């Protein structure tokens, strides 16, 4: 399985439904001649439901389609355990006791980490998000969903840049490999 995309493949949401499952592994998909497991999509949150302390379901939409997303924060690379936070607070207390010169910096970083941990699930309708995860099929309803291991808030400006970035990728890499045998990619107008 060496020919699988190593990094998340950046896609429009509609391509989650267009990608074909590979025969050799039901968790590996293929589109535009590229085999992949992980994908990255951007969109706007159109619904939030089944919210628990560590999991939530979102529906996100871009200009092409909508997809349901299952997000489990315990699988996130950005997840901080409560023990880590406790240890950081102890270290901060020690640093403040000895008047460390970097105390303001340490305090700011600690505040940001605590806010990030507390706000990891605070998505509301209308938020722009970037999602990295795997495609999976909900076999009960027979629909494709996205199992997210990273879900970050973005902005409308970032979403516009994302759409332009995807346009470039599709024109110069994804579709180029499918439609042409020429050696040079098409000129962008």
- DSSP letters, 130-169, are EEEEEEEEETTTTEEEEEEEEEEE--HHHHHHHHHHHHHH
Collapsing DSSP to helix, strand or coil, 177 comes out as: helix
Query: What's this model's pTM, rounded to 2 decimal places?
Result: 0.74
Residues 14 and 105 in one domain: no
- Residue 181 lies inside a defined structural domain of this protein: no
Sign, Cα dihedral of 150, 62, 69, 174: negative
- Residue 137 lies inside a defined structural domain of this protein: yes
Q: Which two tokens stand for residue 61?
A: 């939409």
- Residue 16: phi and psi, rounded to 5, are -60, -40
What's the pLDDT score for residue 98?
74
Question: What does the alpha-carbon distance between residue 74 and residue 122 come to, in Å, rounded to a whole number?
Answer: 15
Residues 70 and 19 in one domain: yes
Contact 42, 158 (CB under 8 A): yes
What's the pLDDT score for residue 188?
47
Range of the domain at 65: 9-77+123-155
Contact 77, 67 (CB under 8 A): no
Collapsing DSSP to helix, strand or coil, 48 comes out as: strand
Residues 27 and 44 in one domain: yes
Residue recorded with tokens 């400006």: 157
Number of domains in the chain: 2
Contact 24, 73 (CB under 8 A): no
DSSP H or E stretch at residue 51: none
pLDDT tens string for the chain (189 positions)? 567 888 999 999 999 999 999 998 889 999 999 999 999 999 999 999 988 878 899 999 999 999 999 998 877 656 666 677 677 777 777 777 777 777 777 777 777 766 655 556 788 999 999 999 999 988 888 899 999 989 989 999 999 999 999 999 999 999 876 555 555 555 544
- Residue 183 lies inside a defined structural domain of this protein: no
CATH number of the CATH domain containing 17: 2.40.50.140
């Amino acid at each position: 399985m060496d020919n699988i995309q190593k990094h998340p493949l950046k896609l429009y949401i509609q391509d989650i439904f267009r990608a074909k499952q590979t025969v050799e592994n039901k968790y590996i998909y293929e589109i535009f001649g590229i085999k992949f497991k992980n994908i990255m999509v951007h969109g706007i949150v159109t619904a939030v439901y089944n919210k628990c302390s560590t999991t939530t379901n979102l529906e996100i939409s871009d200009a092409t389609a909508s997809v349901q997303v299952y997000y489990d924060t315990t699988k996130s690379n950005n997840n901080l355990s409560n023990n880590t936070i406790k240890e950081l607070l102890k270290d901060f207390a020690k640093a403040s006791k000895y008047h460390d010169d970097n105390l303001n910096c340490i305090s700011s970083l600690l505040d940001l980490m605590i806010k990030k941990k507390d706000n990891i699930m605070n998505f509301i309708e209308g938020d722009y998000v970037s999602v990295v995860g795997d495609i999976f099929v909900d076999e009960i309803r027979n629909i494709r969903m996205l199992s997210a291991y990273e879900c970050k808030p973005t902005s409308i400006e970032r979403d516009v840049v994302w759409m332009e970035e995807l346009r470039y990728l599709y024109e110069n890499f994804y579709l180029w490999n499918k439609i042409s045998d020429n050696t040079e990619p098409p000129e962008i107008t």
